[in-house]
Amino acid sequence: MSVSQNLFHKLHLEVRSLNNLRPADVLQITTHSLQSNESCAEEELVQTFLQKLLMMNYRARYIKIKETSKQDQTKQGDLFKTRSENVHDVFEIMSLSNKGTNQSDQIHPMDVQMAVFLCADDFLKQLMVTKLSQCQYALPLLVPNPFTHQIEFPLWTFRQINKSWKMRNNNNEPISQTQLIYKAQTPMVSFFRFDFVSSSKSELMNSLINEKHNTFFHRNCPGSSRSRVLMDGVVEIAWFCPSGKNTDKFNDCVAFCNLHGDSEDHEKQLLILTEMSSVNVVILTQLDRNSRSAKLIQNLYTNRKPLIFIFTNDESTMIETGKGKYKIGMKDRNQAEVSEDLRRAINDCLSESSSTFILEDLSKHTDIRVDEKDNEDCSRGREAAQSMISLLVKKDLIGIKESILPHQGKMNSHNKHEKMFFIKWLGNLLDEYTSADLSVILHKYDEKWSTVLKLKEKHDQSKQLIAEQTELEKISENLQAAGFGLEHIMREIGQIYESCSSVKEEKKDLQVNFSSLPSLAAEMMISGFPLELMDGDAVHVPLIWISAVLDELVKKLGDQRVFVLSILGIQSSGKSTMLNAMFGLQFAVSAGRCTRGAFMQLVKVSDEMKTQIKSDYILVVDTEGLRALELAGKSTTHHDNELATFVVGLGHLTLINIFGENPTEMQDVLQIVVQALMRMKKVRLNPRCVFVHQNVSDVTAGEKNMEGRRRLQEKLDEMTKLAAKDEVYDADRFSDIIRFDVQNDVKYFAQLWEGSPPMAPPNPNYCENIQDLKKTIISHASQSDGIKSKDLKYRIKDLWEALLNERFVFRKLETEYSKWSWSLRSAMMETENTLYKKSEELALKFKDKRNDEETLKKEFDLFWKQWMKMIITDNPKIKDIDIMRDVREILSKVYESASVDHWRESSENKNIFTLPSYSDYAIYKTSTKGKFKEAVKGVYKAVKETLGYTETLSPEDEAQIRSLVDDVAQQTNEMIKSFKISKMGYNKSYIQQVTDYIKARILAHEEGVKYVFKNEFFMDLSYSIFKKEKEMITQQQRLFREANDPVLYLQKKREEYYSIFQKYCNGSTSAAIFGEIICQKLKQPIEQSVYKKTAKDLTDEIKSNSAALNGNRSKLEKHILKVLAEKEDFDKYMNYIHYPRDHFESFIRDEVSQYINDKFSVSVLPNMKENIKLLQQKIIKAARESTECVQAKKGDVGLWMKNFTQKFSTDLIFSEQDLSGVKHHDVEDFNILKDVITQELPAIMSDISSRFNTNTFPVKLDHNFRPDKILIDSLCKCCWVQCPFCKAICTNSIEKHEDKPHYADHSVSIHRMNGISGWYFRNTTNLSPWICTSSVASNDRSFHPDASDKSVPYRQYRTAGGKYAKKWFVCRFQKDLEKHFKKTFEGWGKIPDGWRTCTKQEAIESLDKYI
């Protein structure tokens, strides 16, 4: 048996199995694949090596072999021990040796790699080399076959490898490059060794490429031995990829080739490399004319290629012995110095040489075997793929699909291997075809993005910024359009199958029986290719196609049981990379092209594992990134909702992937997931989930991870409560809807890279985390029965149809609104379109009188009058509303026994928000000698008059009630906004919903306090809230009526119809009239767009220019206090003190209104005119380009309309549906259509512009886009908790921060005198002049909580300043405060005389000092 055969035998590999080991053989879930061993038995070396390699763990080369014979070790140890006990001579003892016992038998790590490589088939070889590249290892370039001695070049294995790097141009700007490595044109440096040398050539090369990583395995690596069998004569290649930094050792991508062994013994490899290299490096002990290698060395020297000699027995530093010839010594020098000399020498040589190397050119050598040429299946697959790719030349994306799809019959070969080669080749060639365009577009995108950022940093709001941003959007669209890969072809195949299935017939141009297409897809899945489950571009699941593919899987594999594993996460969070590492899969991970949707891939479970797992396969469902940037502005929320709900519902286990440690990054996604899980619970599906935090800096920090788990648990519980309200489901905690173990179902992953890309290898700790997660997944799978393949297709169908019908997590109100708004819109459109037809019919009767203007007008007026009468009859007028009448009616029903006269007289005149005290509304609960231990809320009404008593509320109680009133007002305001009255119209049920909410809040409040409210409190609070909201509701109803009342709507359009009538009479063409109609219908969308865009621009302008609104809330409060001091309005002061949030919002609205009035002519109006001008240009350009497109493609008016509306779809709410029913089928002259739009549009724009004024501007703005609404949301979403003593506001910028960790304390910048909020001395009428800070500092001050007899010392509050402001206010408004609270500043409450010296100016100036 030869040495090579013996090696294969020890590794349990058969020589006859060369090229026969398949990916399917190594990608199964096995018992061994779940182990994480750093050492193993000899017979497990192959399995362990492949397992680690497929997980991208570079420690795959460092596996230790477990000692198999402990008995031999013991005997040997005993022998040494016995001899050493009898001999006391150190020289003799130390001469003992065990050399030769195990050293010669140890298997070299690289022999394991090369043995597996030789046994692998072409697909496994390619997978291995791809993983080696990801591990930043050198790759086999020339491989001698140990049995045939033929040199093989595995070109096929390089076809999937991309390399990325950054260089700097002449302007020192970084330029990014991403290239398929087999086509990359780079310099190449070849290294050779002659004879034996004491230093490692490979180790020296590593110092040039990545000194922290062993790119080339060398003699000093762990596990290395002299018994190397398969590496002599092997040539490995690696690339140095620069990062664009000054620390790069080489400025360009450089290939390094390493010929292993003595080069004299491998002359063929030596000649090939020296011919193709840019620089040759030779390492040897010294030159010897009489050595065997003298002639070869002489030939290298006389060759024109640069040559560098490295002598291990020479002490010289770098010496240039001639042009392009260098000598470097190594003796008595450290390696860092030698490496630096070598680097400088190589750079000098490269700067003088223009020679470059293309890996693919190596296949031109005739005396080596090229894998692709020798494999007939591979060659035929390539030919078929190339014939399809040839169709793509000079074709746009539409042309590609039209050309390539009829030729998909080439994919249906009977030879399985040929078919798989064809699919691989097609994917590779498509990547190659599109990569150049993608690279150019990405480069343009980077440049344009940098320009936009620079302009933004300068706060440049000029036309240039707008133009640059527009250009950036175009480049982004081009980037999406340029991507075309194998997945798009498979998507089209599915669509062809569905269309053929629907009509039960073949497509004429399809060169294959359509019924065989699912079989092809099933074979691809079995072979390890992913299949698209959801089309992310259309957000569509092709049920017919997917069902057919699953049926074919059942035919080929049997009705196997599968465990579905799905994954969700934000874009670029490492989902696909994680799955690929875990299971050796092939999901796309390129950042250059992101295909939207969900993909599924099969992973086989081995027979041995089926005792643990009840499933035969794991079906892995990978999704695109949520919140994808390329979907910006394209309904991302609904898209993400549908995608998340679908995959969560489909999966038995869902991995929720979070990039980093902060779950707030995924707050929206967590809410989607929780709500989806809740829906699954309702239909008795019980999926599980595991959270994965990637890129965590220190995964070993146990306490830190405990804190992270706790925060996540809190966030999930919070999301559960929110979802439960929406779904009307009883759940308070995440564990109520799903079995979830926060200790075991939350994983922390280390950073993916060990160092900085592009030369960093994967982090071994990341690989260990992958293995741990894999075990968790298998643990979950072992507890699940999975699902049969036949049932899976029904699960997919049911989920998707349920999603379409109920839209699962989408709120019901949004759905109902969508139906209602479209119903109104379609009815209005139908009426309009009927009018157009009737106008045309009338015009035909009077065509001969087109010059008689008086007759035409008279006839049209008569026609219009008749039509309006008919419309009024068919469509009852939308009535005016009386909000307060409806409120009174509903409240009367709630309290039938209440005195209606009381609240009609009292409530209508009483504003509960400005009352100084709520004592008249409250009744204290009593227990009368223990007779009542606790008052039950259901009997309060019956017993409160006999058992309770009315008493003045304590300041603490007053504060609680005021806080309740304020919060209820805020929440009901949000409720009313959510009704979308301007879109859906007013309904009396809205009043009922709001009053029900108010009643529920009052009852909840009463449970935790010592008093109950009289009925009048509920009635007055409800009435005050609706009085406050009356204007908004009325205005929104007016907008609804204007948009949806047919009579009002059409009356505004009377002149438009008359104009079209005239054109019909004058015999205008269909194209001209259709153009006129288009312009008229664009009027409203244009107006809406201009107001929306102007509102956004105006908000930014106000934020920059308004002194009050250009900072945070603290700055705003300082401004408010200054204004209050200057105006000296006591009522406004009281409103600010007791209802700060309401006061702030009112102040913002006033400021915005004032700004608009002041700046309308100089800023707002010019902005609106500029926006309308840009829209006009876009629409005219859209008409021109649509005309050119239709004429080039010989299309019809339908194609023109589609192109036209799509051109400005991001700017206007306008689509083809807006013109449905309008006669346009006979429009043929598109030039006239374009000209009419070009001529008529300026007049439309001028008409819209003429109505721009300060009165219409606030009325026309959409509520959600009003500048004051945006600014209120920005400045007022913070903490509004007030000091219970002085009413000062907490300055924290986070709402409900007291419930969050690390944000528990409230803080105040300026505390005030307690008397301002009504605090007084017990048993007196004297208001308190005490200030919280002085009370805290005092040892003898206390207060009585809840009006009790118990005295409590003041709690500790933070110190603060602002003394002049509060002292001046008390003195200035002393009489007002005394009148307001019906108390006095006398006796204990006397104001110190020193306070009266404070002036208003000092008060105002103190605000700048303390806020």
C-alpha separations of 1220 from 120, 534, 967, 1223 in Å: 62, 30, 47, 8
311's torsion region: left (phi>0), alpha (psi -120 to 50) or beta?
beta
> HSE (CB half, 13 Å, CA atoms) of 640?
26
Q: Which distant-in-sequence residues (6+ apart) come within 8 Å of 480 by Cβ?
A: 630
Q: Is 511 helix (H, G, I), strand (E, B) or coil?
A: coil
Determine the Cα–Cα distance for residues 751 and 577; give it in Å rounded to an integer.
12
User: What is the structure's pLDDT at 668?
Assistant: 59
* Mean of pLDDT values over 732-740: 80
Whether the bond into 758 is cis, omega within 30 of 0: yes
pLDDT single digits (tens) 1045-1061: 777 766 777 777 777 77
Cα of 141 vs its chain's centroid, Å: 40
* Mean of pLDDT values over 549-560: 93
| Pick from 113-122, 463-472, 506-515, 1316-1325: least confident | 506-515
pLDDT band at 809 (very low <50, low <70, confident <90, very high): very low
Q: Which distant-in-sequence residues (6+ apart) come within 8 Å of 633 by Cβ?
A: 1210
pLDDT band at 945 (very low <50, low <70, confident <90, very high): very low
Burial group, residue 879, by CB count within 10 angstroms (0-12, 13-18, 19+):
exposed
User: What is the structure's pLDDT at 818?
Assistant: 39
Are 415 and 377 spatial neighbours (Cβ–Cβ below 8 Å)? yes
Q: Is 307 helix (H, G, I), strand (E, B) or coil?
A: strand
Q: Is 7 helix (H, G, I), strand (E, B) or coil?
A: helix
C-alpha separations of 1224 from 43, 1070, 1074, 1184 in Å: 78, 7, 6, 18
* Mean of pLDDT values over 1392-1403: 72
Q: What does the mean pLDDT of the chain come to?
A: 78
Cα of 1054 vs its chain's centroid, Å: 48
Determine the Cα–Cα distance for residues 715 and 667; give it in Å rounded to an integer.
8
416-457 vs 486-503: helix crossing angle, rounded to 10: 120
Size of the chain in residues: 1411
Burial group, residue 77, by CB count within 10 angstroms (0-12, 13-18, 19+):
exposed
User: What is the structure's pLDDT at 136?
Assistant: 95
Task: Report DSSP state, residue 141.
Answer: E
Amino acid found at 213 = H
Cα of 1390 vs its chain's centroid, Å: 62
Cα of 1190 vs its chain's centroid, Å: 37
pLDDT single digits (tens) 1149-1201: 888 888 888 888 888 888 888 988 999 999 999 999 989 988 888 888 888 88
Whether 350 shows a pLDDT value over 50: the answer reads yes
* Mean of pLDDT values over 1291-1296: 68
Determine the Cα–Cα distance for residues 336 and 79; give it in Å rounded to an integer.
44
At residue 310, φ and ψ (nearest 5 deg) are -120, 120
Among 382, 380, 374, 484, residue whose Cα is nearest residue 431: 484
pLDDT band at 850 (very low <50, low <70, confident <90, very high): low
Among 1210, 1097, 1085, 1264, residue whose Cα is nearest residue 466: 1097
Beta bridge partners of 280: 190, 307
Whether 673 shows a pLDDT value over 80: the answer reads no
> HSE (CB half, 13 Å, CA atoms) of 306?
26
| Pick from 39-43, 804-808, 1224-1228: least confident | 804-808
DSSP H helices, 56-163, are 70-86, 90-93, 109-119, 122-134
Determine the Cα–Cα distance for residues 829 and 1053; give it in Å rounded to an integer.
13
| Pick from 739-743, 966-970, 1342-1346: least confident | 1342-1346
The residue written with tokens 């379409």 in the block is 804
Q: Which distant-in-sequence residues (6+ apart) come within 8 Å of 1157 by Cβ?
A: 1254
pLDDT single digits (tens) 120-162: 999 999 999 999 999 999 999 999 999 888 999 999 999 989 9
Beta bridge partners of 178: 164
Determine the Cα–Cα distance for residues 445 and 475; give it in Å rounded to an integer.
6
The residue written with tokens 């036209």 in the block is 1204
Whether 235 shows a pLDDT value over 90: the answer reads yes
Tokens encoding 325: 């010839």
pLDDT single digits (tens) 480-522: 666 677 887 888 888 878 877 765 554 445 555 677 889 889 9
Among 736, 770, 732, residue whose Cα is nearest residue 750: 770
Determine the Cα–Cα distance for residues 715 and 746; give it in Å rounded to an integer.
13
User: What is the structure's pLDDT at 512?
Assistant: 55
> What does the CA dihedral 889, 893, 894, 896 come to, rounded to 10 degrees?
120
Determine the Cα–Cα distance for residues 662 and 578; give it in Å rounded to an integer.
19
Among 602, 634, 676, 1065, residue whose Cα is nearest residue 856: 1065
Largest separation between any pair of C-alpha atoms in the chain: 138
| Pick from 350-359, 416-425, 439-448, 1033-1042: least confident | 439-448
Determine the Cα–Cα distance for residues 960 and 927; give it in Å rounded to an integer.
22
Determine the Cα–Cα distance for residues 1118 and 1275; give it in Å rounded to an integer.
13
pLDDT single digits (tens) 170-195: 777 778 888 899 999 999 999 999 99
User: What is the structure's pLDDT at 1377?
Assistant: 72
User: What is the structure's pLDDT at 937?
Assistant: 35
Higher per-residue pLDDT: 958 or 1343: 958
Percent of all residues in the chain with a pLDDT value above 90, rounded to a whole number:
20
pLDDT single digits (tens) 811-845: 333 333 334 444 445 556 666 667 767 776 777 67
Beta strands 151-153; 139-144: pairing state: antiparallel
Determine the Cα–Cα distance for residues 735 and 678; give it in Å rounded to an integer.
11
Among 1217, 1208, 1266, residue whose Cα is nearest residue 1241: 1208
User: What is the structure's pLDDT at 704?
Assistant: 57
DSSP H helices, 898-1014, are 900-906, 940-947, 955-978, 981-984, 989-1006
**Within a 10 A sphere around the Cβ of 939, how many other Cβ atoms?**
11
* Global pTM value: 0.59
Determine the Cα–Cα distance for residues 391 and 400; give it in Å rounded to an integer.
7
Burial group, residue 1197, by CB count within 10 angstroms (0-12, 13-18, 19+):
buried
pLDDT single digits (tens) 1356-1390: 433 333 445 556 666 776 777 777 777 777 766 67
Determine the Cα–Cα distance for residues 762 and 573; give it in Å rounded to an integer.
15
Whether 904 shows a pLDDT value over 60: the answer reads no
Helix (H) or strand (E) holding 1220: none
